[in-house]
Amino acid sequence: GHTFWDTEIFLLPYYIFTDPKTARKLEEYRYLSLPGAHAKAEHNHYQGAMFPWESAWLDDGEVTPEYMDVDILTGRPNKVWSGFIEQHITADVAFGVWQYSVITGDEDYMEKYGYELIMDTAIFWASRLEMGEDGKYHINDVVGPDEYREHVNDNAFTNYMAHWNMQKAMEYYHLLKDNKQELFQSLNQKMDLENAYAKWEDGCKNIYLPTPTKEN
């Protein structure tokens, strides 16, 4: 019953095409577990929805064990860093919402849950960015999706997904403001979207996006 990024990236596409009702239940679960995502963001001094790396019951928040196994050389417990710094899960959740909506055309889901999820996660990313000496925003000290390298600065997957998440939130901001005024006003009152938009725009413009080099 525990949920990871595997749900959105690996499992959800299968259910979208074979069992859309189950796919919607998976996506509704993410919305219903927002209290835990908000609690994790607040605990880490961020804003918006910061989804747990490993989640279970709706309001549990992060349930990844802090320590697991024992180092055979030192005899000390190994710290499980994924629960602390494998943060791309938040953008993966937003990507799942978008993918589900595009393929199924389920506008009812988007109006009830989806737009809010994508904007709430984008608020997290805007608060997660760190200004560097180069004048760019960076996302430091994370674990990327390969899980073999810990405490990485500017993991490419994480940075690009954060950028995508904020960009998608901006796109939906305009869509709702132009075509769904009542829903826009409701979400604006709930999340202060007008203030959030300025931060998304600044973040998208100035985030550092790694590119291949001769060495890598």
Helices 89-104 and 156-179, packing angle to 10 deg: 50
One-letter amino acid of 94: A
Phi, psi angles (nearest 5°) of residue 79: -75, 135
Phi, psi angles (nearest 5°) of residue 69: 65, 180
How many Å separate Cα 11 from the centre of its chain? Answer: 17
Q: Give the SS3 label for residue 142.
A: strand
Is residue 62 flagged as an active site residue? no
* 83, 64 contact by CB (below 8 A): yes
Among candidate residues 125, 106, 103, 123, the one with its CA nearest the CA of residue 114: 106
Determine which one of 147, 150, 171, 182 is catalytic.
147
96 class by beta-carbon count within 10 Å (0-12 exposed, 13-18 middle, 19+ buried): buried
* Dist CA 58 CA 1 (whole Å): 11
Residues assigned a catalytic role: 147
